[in-house]
Amino acid sequence: EGAAVEKVGEGQMMSPKETFRLALLFCPLWFFSNYSYNVGLAWTSVSSSSTIGTLSGFFTLVMGVMVGTEVFTVAKLGAVGLSMGGVALIASADMSTTSSSFRGDVMCLLSAVMYGTYTNFLKFHLTDDNSVDMCMFFGFVGLSTAVLISPLFFVLHLTGIETFEVPNSTTMQLLLLNGLIGTVLSDYLWARSVLLTTPLVATLAIALSIPLSVTADLWRGTAEFSTEYLIGTAVVLCGFIVVNYDEYWGEKDDSNAMALASQS
């Protein structure tokens, strides 16, 4: 049998074999998106990587319209613009002393493209949250990454691109903690949100980490923010509200139109 994964119908559940195939195809897209972003972050400024990273919303919308996982509306395009503009304001208010570099910007752009690709890939093959055992899926993603990607450590080490060394106990503990909370839990919740809502809603929701972190810092009194920074944060929040409003009222208008058509 081939390695192709067929789209799961509504109400159907993926078998373990189908789940493994999906994870096998998802794994390289997911890994190289995260890897390229971290490499880009090392090569360019934080403000530049953050601003370019918001293009993931644009690519998610464009690719979603192309494959049928998103329906284009002016409101969605506006929401993407608000999110990008808000992050750009925040980045300009929090300029790093590190200068930007072209190769770093290109890597961040590649990451945004890959993100849009694997987000719509997941939504295209899984119709709803009941289509797959998500814990099993990410277990297979981890297994596939360990088997297929781990050899790259030695290739990068031998070519001198990136030195491979065994971390000390403190670093290992921090890596495990970050892996459990920053990767496993966050990606699990993200994947479920993609299936419960849409790829674009889930993508713009990620930017909510900015207003949430600002709120936490203001509550604790540990930081002061410029007016430009706070305006950018509010704009990001507005973008998320707009896309959710459009999704809710768009579906409601479609349902009302179908009800009227059935009555006539």
96 burial type by CB count under 10 A (0-12 exposed, 13-18 middle, 19+ buried): middle
> What is the model's pLDDT at position 261?
47
Q: 1 falls in which pLDDT band (50, 70, 90)?
A: very low
> What is the model's pLDDT at position 248?
79
Read off the pLDDT of each residue in 207-235 and give the average, rounded to a whole number: 80
- Rounded percentage of the chain residues whose pLDDT exceeds 90: 41
Choice between 58 and 2, residue whose per-residue pLDDT is larger: 58
Q: What is the 3-state secondary structure (H, E, C) of the chain?
A: CCCCCCCCCCCCCCCHHHHHHHHHHHHHHHHHHHHHHHHHHHHCCHHHHHHHHCHHHHHHHHHHHHHCCCCCCHHHHHHHHHHHHHHHHHHHHCCCCCCCCHHHHHHHHHHHHHHHHHHHHHHHHCCCCCCCCHHHHHHHHHHHHHHHCCHHHHHHHHCCCCCCCCCCHHHHHHHHHHHHHHHHHHHHHHHHHHHHCCHHHHHHHHCCHHHHHHHHHHHHCCCCCCHHHHHHHHHHHHHHHHHHHHHHHHHHHHHHHHHHHHHC
- Rounded percentage of the chain residues whose pLDDT exceeds 70: 86
Residue with tokens 């189908």, as numbered in its chain: 18
The residues, any chain, with a CB within 8 Å of residue 85's CB and separated by 6 or more, are 232, 235
Residue with tokens 């002016």, as numbered in its chain: 74
Both structure tokens of 25: 């195809």
Both structure tokens of 96: 């790093």
> What is the model's pLDDT at position 124?
93
Torsions phi, psi for 60 (to 5 deg): -60, -45
Choice between 97 and 193, residue whose per-residue pLDDT is larger: 193
Q: Per mean pLDDT, which range of 1-15, 102-116, 246-260 is the poorest?
A: 246-260
What digits encode the pLDDT tens for the residues 87-132?
888 877 766 545 567 888 889 899 999 999 999 999 999 878 888 9
What digits encode the pLDDT tens for the residues 57-97?
999 999 999 999 999 999 999 999 999 998 888 877 766 54
Read off the pLDDT of each residue in 227-253 and give the average, rounded to a whole number: 84
Q: 11 falls in which pLDDT band (50, 70, 90)?
A: low
Read off the pLDDT of each residue in 246-260 and give the average, rounded to a whole number: 61
The structure's pTM equals: 0.83
Choice between 146 and 49, residue whose per-residue pLDDT is larger: 146
Whether the predicted pLDDT of 172 surpasses 50: yes
What digits encode the pLDDT tens for the residues 17-57?
999 999 999 999 999 999 899 888 888 877 777 778 888 99
d(CA 105, CA 43): 8
> C-alpha angle with apex 114: 90 to 40, nearest 5 degrees?
50
